[in-house]
Every structure is written in C-alpha cells, then in structure tokens.
A and B are shown apart, each in its own frame.
Chain A
Amino acid sequence: MSDFPSRYARLATFSTFDFDASGFDGSLKEQAILTSHAWPVANKAILTPITVRTLFLIRKFWWANGSAVAGNVDVGVYTMGGARLLSTGAIAQAGTSVIQSATPTAGPPWQLMPGSYYLALSASSASATFISTTSPAPREMQTSGFAEAVTANPLPDPITPATMVSNIIPLCGMSDAPVI
C-alpha cells in the first residue's frame, strides 16, 4: 500500500533514456546518438521497459519530433503482461524538431505505482521522424528487454509484445508537470 513518504519522493519526469529505462545504464546508453530517424514501419510500436521506483503521477506524455512529421503518434504505458493502462490515443504529429506532448485520455493525473512497465510509442507513418537512436542492434535491444508490436497505431489494448526486429529507440516520456 502506498504511504506518505513515497508520495513526496515521486519523480517529475521519466523518459526512455532515463537510467531506469532498461539498457540505459550500460553500453546502449554509451552508444546512443540522438538524431532524427524515420520510423521503421508504419503502425509499429516500440516498447521500452521501464522501472518506476516511486509513485508517479502522469499528466502528460511527450515525444521528440524529428526533421519531418507525418501521420499520427500514440504514446502510452502498458503492464509487462500487455494491458494498456493509459495512452494519448492517436495524435497528429505536428511541428518539426520540437517536443510534442499530449494529455492521456484518462485522467490526468493518473497514478502509476512502483513496478515494471512498458513505455510504448507507435507511429502510423514510416515518413514520421523522431529524435532517436538507431545505434544498438536488435539483439542488444532484445537482451535489454525491449519489444515491438506491429499494427499498433493507435496503441491496442491488449498489446502482444514481439521480439525486436527494428532497432530504433525513440526519445519519449511521461511527466508529472502540466506543461512540457
């Protein structure tokens, strides 16, 4: 059960490149070069495993657009078993080289308890670009806990995580702040 101390220790923001995002306390982080990359396949979702150590209130999801925008983006949180807890729904990607954000369809704020989850981003168009890294090979992402899903825009409920074939890690996250 939650208690007073955890509430005051909560984080303000969390991203796929935080230390509590799997793989980013070692070689993958060191290799990461963040620049604009096209989404590998239309409607694919990339699922980044994250560990939330304290109670987290989600008010916004955000992602980093690259040098070209197209189609719709959906960002959300899943249980490791594939149940969608929260997502933005399909949001038109807008604005090149900017951080774009959206409010979850439920809440906000939505309370995420400590535990392990997937932070998922999907894009409907292969012409969409995101600030991301393509440095790690799929096998490195596999061993760091990443997964992907096809035909996943908007993000489905539930989702079936599949073995990594692509090797893109988008910069995206969630925030307790009302403004990104």
Chain B
Amino acid sequence: MAVTVGGSGSQTCVIGTEHTLLDVNTAGTYSLGLDAVNFANGDYFEVRIKKILKTGGTLRVTYFMSYQDAQSVEDYGKVSVPISNALTDAASLRFTLKQTKGTGRVVDWEVLKFA
C-alpha cells in the first residue's frame, strides 16, 4: 500500500478559532497526526474530522478528540483512526483543530493518505 502525504503544516492556534488543517477531495483513506510537544498546562484543544456522506452533502463531525494540559513526552504523537473517502467534492473530508483555552500554540500536523 502506497503511503503519501496528503498535507502537512504548522498551525498557529488562535483561541476560539476552528482552523481547517486540510480539505480532501480525492478518494482514499486518511489519518491525521498532531505533534503535542507545545501543549501546556491550562491549554485545551479540540480535534475534529468531518465527512460528507454523499456528493453535495454537508460536512458532519465524525471523529472528535480533545486534549488538555501538557502531554507526556511519551505521548507527544497523536494519530487518529483512519477514515475513508470515495468522493471528489472540494471538502469531502475536513480535518480541523481548535484551541479553546490557554495561550495559542503552534501545532505541527500531517495528514497521511493510504493508497
């Protein structure tokens, strides 16, 4: 199975703003990875993966995860479960990051595409 980078970057979080990390419009299976090294006590992050179920459909939150405070050095890497897409809408899948508490952090991220 070929594994390629669907997208990557460093997101500077603005408190209360949901940042779109990547929109996907290509069929495949995807997984989001985050680097939590900059998370600190008093921070709170929400991670969402949204998906449409048919062409022209509406994005719905399909997977949600939250992280609070500084993370263990043994757990800086956060990886989502894979999610599949067969559609070609501009935003068939959407990966977002929202920091709601603390000081805005820079979070490195990567979306891998499997096949």
A and B found bound together: yes
Closest to A116 in B: B68
User: Known contacts being A3-B81, A85-B101, is A79 close to B42, with CB within 8 Å?
Assistant: yes
User: Known contacts being A79-B42, A83-B44, A158-B42, is A1 close to B101, with CB within 8 Å?
Assistant: no
B110 at the interface (CB under 8 A from A): no
Q: Chain B 81-109, CB within 8 Å of chain A: the 1/0 string?
A: 10000000000000000001110000000
Q: A8 → chain B, closest Cβ, in Å?
A: 15
User: Known contacts being A1-B49, A158-B101, is A85 close to B64, with CB within 8 Å?
Assistant: no
Bound-state Cα–Cα, A112 to B36, Å: 20
Chain B interface extent, by class: 10 to 19
Q: Chain A 8-35, CB within 8 Å of chain B: the 1/0 string?
A: 0000000000000000000000000000
Which B positions have Cβ atoms within 8 angstroms of A? Answer: 40-44, 47, 49, 63-66, 68-70, 80-81, 100-102
Which A positions have Cβ atoms within 8 angstroms of B? Answer: 1-3, 79-85, 111, 113, 115, 157-158
